[in-house]
Structures are given as structure tokens and as C-alpha cells.
Structure 1
């Protein structure tokens, strides 16, 4: 017999051997000797009160053997001679679209503007050390997309869009730890993601798919409102049956190309702000109600914050405990910051985007001349502003948190994880009022919600601008573009996802939709 139960374990109990078995026996009213195994199905931490609690959902095996470890199997087919589906972009949406094509018996032909994960590392080093941005290979572009060198957070609220469990199991199949199936807020870590992505690449190639790196798409050949071919930067042309467009939220050239060809786009609301960096110890002390170093059984503490300022949301985004801030620009002449964490989240800093909602219909009257690309231009202008304020390199403008809120230039800055370096700048006056003013009120409110959060020991660093795409590529119920037959906008670049898992699910859905045309 197998029974599922919920168990609560405190820090003292967590150190005790067989604590789950003993608690399960007591709760179920059975003798401890009858319990042959306990399998953890879900684990979360509740630190809302002074005593931190581990919440477990477990399967209790009573006089029954624990099944052998599950073997996650995906029925990939040899598609080397099958009909082709072209996929532009090899981030989470593109990868999962390709894998799903193979399962369904179709050959994915993937075109990725950037390099593979190994070669991409050299370009990331060039950004950090020499401030040189390769426009096709950086923290946003390249094998695995923006998610490769990120925290690898897998939490999603998009539970109705597809089979979340299936997405997770596919990651385990390709090398992720089974812990991601258990943790309430799972993550993989930037140090482990590249190997998993390599394994996904090998699966696609093994079963007959194609992946072309350093293959930027520069034009679409459209006849009678149907996509017929694509042009690459090297001058070659590929005839296509249909195209899954999974280019990510930073492929501005794709939006501009579509707009130039009068292909329907829509301006989309988004969010922009800064990244705030605290010593991790401060966040731990706040969240775990502890003094000094957190208990060794507890992970680096995270937080989630939101506040309304004049009916405008100010909120934390992509919070990275024990992480690093990285330069995420996709072109020289701009500064963009983002966060990432290793799997152990053992860096001494915690960072998070703190961003402000931008309503493209109300907030950008001066940008109306840019039409549907007005949010894109606003985003770009702020990144250029940050570039100039930082000193015209990848050095980022920064300010102590308290100085920012109180409106004064910082005489000195705190230590940072951001490798290119920081330049003290009056971000309180540089940022547009709708962002800067909202952030200042938001930070003050966050300090009241988390006592100790509002501190001179924290830096704010600008700008966090790539939270999501400011452009939506419309699609019909069948996921095809309403104007162009055979074009399937997908993932974050289309405006249909907000992270690794939701993008992966959308990639699978687009693959399933595309094959109905073939």
C-alpha cells in the first residue's frame, strides 16, 4: 500500500535520521517497521515565522517495495529523411520545438545566430574583461538562448499551457538532477545548464535534425502571404515549408525586419528598472530571522516583492540568491544588466531586478512616431543612457540604495559581483521620472516590508531592461501568424512566454501546430 501525506519538519528535526519515516508512521497510525520506504515528491521551505519549517509531500510505502528509479523515456524517431520544419532560434522555445518535431516524426532545421555553448564562453569573457560585445554571441544570443548563462530558474505559473512535468522530465533525461522534480522553486544553475544544453543538441543531431550555428536570418521571402524561403547573413537562401520563429526577446533586428515588410506587429507593455545587489547575509538574516550566518541546512534566501505606486506595479524580477550580476547588452553602445546564479548559489551577494510596469499605450507619448516599435526604442534609449552614465563602456552606472531613494550622489560604492565594474552616477535624476520616481517609492516600501532591506550596504545598478519583449508578434488560435501562412511566432520573442519553462511549453505547442500544415 502507498499513502501520500504532508509532513512538517523543523530545523532540529531535519538533522535527525529517519525523521520522515517516523513522522509518517505517527501520522498514518502504523508501526515504523511497516514502512519500507518514503519517497519525497515535493519539498518547500516556510520561513514566514521565526521557526523555519520544511514542508514535505511524500509517498509512504507500507509493506511494499519502492519501485526502481523511473526511466524517463522519450520516443524520438529517425527524422533524417523526414519533412523539414525550420526553427529560428535555439533557446528554450527553439530547443523544445526541435525535440517535439523529432518525437512527431519531422526533421527540425535549427538556425541560431550565435555560437555553441563552448565557443560562446570566449565572447562572454570578452564582454566582462574587455567590454567588447559580439552582437551575435553574448549573454542573450547563442546556444540555449538567454537561459543558458542565467540562474536556470524553472518555476512557472503557466500551468495551463502544457505539461510542465513533461518539460522537467525532459531536462532530467538530458542530465538535470531529479531534485528539480521535487523542489517547489527549482533551479539548475548557470554552471550546469551548458552541459544539459549540449546533451539536447546531441539528441537532435543523433536523430537526424540539423543545427546551424552562426546563421543569422536576415530576410524572409513571402509570396501570396505565405513564407517560402529565408535568407541568411552569409548570402545563402533556404526554401522552407513553415517557420517557427523563436528568436527571444532581444532580437530587435527581427522585429525591425517584420515591421519593414509590413508584417503585423503589436506594441506590448513591459517593465524596466534596475538591479539591486545586497550582501546575501543580509537577505538571509531578514528571511530566516537569524543572526550572523544562516543554518547550513538552509539555501541562500530569496525574496519576492511587489508594491503599487500610483496604480503602477513595482516588483522584483528574476531574483538570484547567491548570484552574480552580468552584462547582458546585445550591441556595443548600450549597457544592460541581468542576474545569474551557480547551482549551489554560494556567491556572497544576492541580486534581483526591481522593475516598473511600462504601459505602452499611456506612458510613451513622445515615442508615438515609432509606431509599434515605440517600446523597443524607449528600451534602447535607456540602455544608451546607461552606457553614457557608466563611462561609455560596459561599466554600469550605480548608486547606493539609500542615496538613490534620498536623491544624492554616492561618494563611494559597495563591493559588487559585476565584473566590468561600476561608476557612481545620480540614477535618481538620470532615470525617467516614471521609472526613477516609482522605484524610489517602491524601495522605501520594500524596506518596511523587509526590515533591513533598505540599507546603504546595497547598490542599485542600471539598467534592467530586458525583462520581456516590448513587441508582440500576433498569432491565431492555431498559433500561426494571422497574416503570413507558415509563420509561427513562439516563446518570449513572440510575447508568449516569460521564462525557461513557459518558453519550452510554447515551443512544443508551436511544433505540434506547425506539423498540421505539412
Structure 2
């Protein structure tokens, strides 16, 4: 019994392992046996697939109610997997929701950072104005698929990088992250997504994902709530300039010349807003160069990956398409690693600028495509950029992307190479057993024409290391498609660690991936919440 509330004390039981084909009755019995009790009520907090050491099973974390819970805890006092259930309630917003209205906030960008910042501000009654250079999710999806599959012209304001939902809208929709979450924002974000139309299983899966097809519905629902609370969401509203007065950001200027004042002004612009970075830098806003990664998308048959990871359980409906993850430390002094792995997915065209080719990976919720793909990446840093300018990393990206465009035929086809040819140092001339999924299409070539030699050397060496843990990874017909350059922003905008304002400009709040403070859907959403909380706390009183 919880002495402070008089309520039954909930227990948390973790690492309860069961075979893939277990029944619900077997799960219940395993719990009773573990606790050595005859009755217990439980809910699933998390279910993970453990495929290590050649064995495949489910590992559960359960929230449990039992009679005489104090006695149960005492009987298992040496078992670190049976503990009082932690309180994971998100409370940061409760302390700052009653605030002075004041001037309306402006949020630039409607990726997960901007949407969740806007949602908190709207629920606090501040009626934020959200500005998005691209289109609403549905219109944006039509532009993107038209470019990929129907020969439509590339639209520099409506593509995989720009538009409602941000870059994560056209990805696997991964909803897990390694950031610290002492304030329990992540469980709250997931519950909000379910309320907005995401599948409920994201609340219990250890590695949840939502898929592009479901994510579009979720972002639309969040937008509609912001509007219902008095906020505004304006599409086709690219910020082309800013107004700074006496060391404070007072307004943003749109491409059509209109001026929008606000306080505060939050920039959640994403990692590919290069023109915005340049504009802010021209106004004297500081940027710190930071490392990011470049490489290729590598495709294998999904059935091969399933066999690598799940063995005899490959193809089991409870497991779905298998994901993998790897890091290989190489003699080159660099490491190669998997990035944004997409089981049962597609390699997609993801440029944000004309005359460049960029790749990314995408999966639907079902993860039912024939191939698995992942970024096969090598970290690069300021020492590689060839220039000390704060934005030199952007030009480094562009150089690779231009070479990819030209090598692919200057028509947005992507350069590709078979892994066997890549390792042998010869150009590819045709497809093998793995059909590349990239659209508009690929051109078979030698990727030494595209990527820096130091990146090529690291990728080559990494294959043998990876193959030890993923036998079959070195499949000669696996497809490498270039170039993957948008792993993260190559810059960070310094901000105060407490107020989260830019260190050199009042009323300016850099946030999310573009500012260098996030690296995925969940971490970007959480950072948007942090910034919104800081803004609200400043108005309390």
C-alpha cells in the first residue's frame, strides 16, 4: 500500500522471458511463478524482441497489482527486476499552463519539434502562429510521390524535407530514442500520438514505429487541435528574413514580404533548412560546426535479414520484419554504423535542393516491401570540411550531393553499385538478384565517383566486421545507393542551458534537429516541448 495515497502499490516486473509462440495463459503463469503468488493483475508496459546469441524470445516488462505487495517485495528484495513501479507522469506542463497571454508566439517549422511546441503553447492559451514553408501533409505526399513515380518536376518547397510533419514523415517513423527523459516527456508524446490516430502498440513495443502512412494522419490531427485552440498554421510561408532590434528578434519576414511579429519566436526548422541557416548567419547569429555522417543506403532482401536475426522463427507473424543495428570500428580511425534502418521499406529520393541527389529510407506501418534498407554511414567532422567557416559542413554535403546528381545522369536518378563490385573496386553495370527500390531510378556506376575516399575505405573495411554478427550482410548482390548525407544537421546554434534562448539574441529559441539538439522524431518532439515549457515558465506569475 502506498502510504501517501492509500492506493495499492503497483509493482514493476521486468525481463520476463517467453518463447515467440507463447499464449496469454503462459505469460500469466510465468508472472505468477516469478512472484510466487497465486493471483495478480497486470498490464504490459513494454515488450521487446530479444534475438541475441542466436535465440529469439520476447522479454516483457509488466505493471502488476498483487495482494500484500509489501510482503511480495520483501520476499524478492534481492531481485532487481521486481521493484515498486516508478512514477512516470509528465508534470512539467502542469506547473506552467496558467500564464499571462501577452504577445502571440511564432513557431517556424511544423516537424515534430514545431508541432509539439505549438501544441503545448496552444493548450496554455497562447494561440501560437505556426509557419511552414511547405504544404500540408496530404498535398505534400502527392507532390513527393508524383516526383518519385510519375515524372513530376522536383518541387523545392514541397518534398521529403519540407512540409507538414518534417523529414520524419517520409521515414520509418521510428519512435524510440536514447535521450535521457527524466521528465517523462516520451511516454506522454506516445500517448498523444495514439490519441491522434497512431496504433496503440507503440505504447508497449520496445522499438515502436508508426510508418509514413499512419504518421500523416497523426500530424494532421495535432494541427487541427492547435487550430481549435485558437492557434494558426500557415502553409507556403517560408521565412526569408528576420527583424532584429536592440539585440532581440522582433519579427520574421516571409518570402511574400509580409512581416509577422511575435514573442517568443521558436525556430524548429529541421536539419535541411540551409537557406535559413545562411540567412541567420548573415545576421550574426552564431553557429558551431558539428560532426554528422555520410554514406549510402544498403539494401538486402528482407527475407535474408529475417533469417540473419530470427533463424527458424523468420517470417513469424508476431515478429514481423526484422531490424538490425551495427557499429564497426575500423583501422581507418573511423567507424561505420547503421542509421535509420527500415525493415520492409524503400530507398527514397530525399533532396531539398535542385540539382542534387539525396537518399533516405522509408517504411509503411506494415513494413511489407521486399527489401530491407539502412543508412550505411561514416562520421565526418569539421576536420573534413576543408574550410573553417561555420557553415562549411553544408557545402561539404552539397559537394557530395552534386556529384551524386551528375553521376546519376543529372535527372534525379541515383548512382548505385552492387556490394560485390564495391568491395572489388570495379563499376557495376547491371542489377543482380536484389532489385533496387529507389525511384525515379538508378544508374549503375562506381561510387568512388561520389563519396570521399576516406568514407569509401571505411565502408569497405566495415563489411567484414559486420558480417561476423550479421552473416550474409556481405551479399554480393546487395545494392548500395548514394548519397545519404542528411543524418543530422552539420551545425548547432548555441543556446542558454536554462532559458533555452539563443546565447546572443533575445526572443530567439533555436530548437530541434536544425538547431543541433535532436536526432529523430521523438527527440525533436521532446526538445520542442522543452522549449515551449521554458517559454511558459517565463510567463508564469
Aligned pair 1:382/2:372, yes or no? no
Which of the numbers 58, 63, 67 marks the counterpart of 2:62? 58
Taking the aligned partners of 2:343 and 2:423, their CA distance within structure 1 comes to 23
**Superposed counterparts of 1:215-294, under 5 Å:** 215-290=237-312, 294=315
Instruction: Give the match for residue 482 of structure 2.
Output: 462
1:67 match: none
- Alpha-carbon separation, structure 2, partners of 1:339 and 1:263: 33
Q: Secondary structure at the match of 2:145?
A: helix
3-state secondary structure, aligned to 1:404: helix
SS in 2 for 1:107: coil
1:25 aligns with 2:29: no
Which of 456, 466, 469 aligns to 1:436? It is 456
Q: 1:348 to 1:108 in 2, by over 3 A?
A: same
User: What is the distance in 2 between the residues matched to 1:516 and 1:221?
Assistant: 25
Aligned equivalents of 2:132 and 2:402: distance in 1?
A: 26
Deviation at 1:302, TM superposition (A): 0.8
Q: Deviations over 1:240-291 (max 9, x none)?
A: 2221010000000111101222221121111111110100011111111238
Root-mean-square deviation over aligned CA pairs: 2.3
Q: Residues 114-513 of structure 1 correspond to what in structure 2 (within 5 A)?
A: 114-129=134-149, 130=151, 132-160=153-181, 162-163=183-184, 164-290=186-312, 294-309=315-330, 310-360=332-382, 362-365=383-386, 367-368=387-388, 371-413=389-431, 414-477=434-497, 478-513=499-534
- Shift of residue 152 of structure 1? 0.9
Secondary structure of 1:302's partner?
coil
Cα drift, residue 516 of structure 1: 5.0
1:493 partner SS? coil
Q: Deviations over 1:159-205 (max 9, x none)?
A: 24742222222212222223112111111111101111111011100
With normalisation by structure 2, the TM-score equals 0.88
State how far apart, in whole Å, the 2-side matches of 1:354 and 1:39 are: 38
* Gap change, CA 1:331 and 1:346, over 3 Å in 2: same
Return structure 1 stretches of 4+ with deviation > 4 angstroms: 61-64, 71-82
Q: Is the 8 A contact 2:98 2:124 kept in 1?
A: no
Aligned to 2:109: 89
CA–CA distance in structure 2, aligned partners of residues 431 and 50 of structure 1: 35
Unaligned ranges ≥5, structure 2: 1-7, 69-88
The Cα of 1:98 is off from its aligned counterpart by 0.5
Return 428-437 or 460-469, whichever deviates more: 428-437
Query: What SS does the aligned partner of 1:494 have?
Result: coil
Q: Which shows bigger deviation, 454-463 or 257-266? A: 257-266
Which segment drifts farther, 279-288 or 19-28?
Answer: 19-28
| Alignment match, 1:38 | 42
For 1:47-81, what per-residue CA distance to the aligned partner results, in whole angstroms no more than 9, with x for missing partners?
A: 113331111112344479xxxxxx99998989997
CA contact (8 A) 1:88 1:245 kept: yes
How far residue 448 of structure 1 moved from its aligned partner, in angstroms, is: 2.7
CA distance in 1, matches of 2:220, 2:212: 13
Shift of 1:514: 2.7
Query: Matched residues in 2 for 1:397 and 1:147: separation?
Result: 24
Distance in 2 between residues matched to 1:462 and 1:375, nearest whole Å: 18
List per-residue Cα deviations over 1:375-429 (Å, max 9, x = no partner).
Answer: 0001011001000111111211000112112211113123122121111010035
2:21 is equivalent to residue 5 of structure 1: no
Aligned equivalents of 1:24, 1:515: Cα separation in 2: 44
SS of alignment partner, residue 271 of structure 1: strand
Contact 2:125 2:229 in 1 (8 A): no
Check conservation: 1:317, 1:353, Cα contact below 8 A: yes
TM-score of the superposed pair, with normalisation by structure 1:
0.92
Matched position secondary structure for 2:154: coil
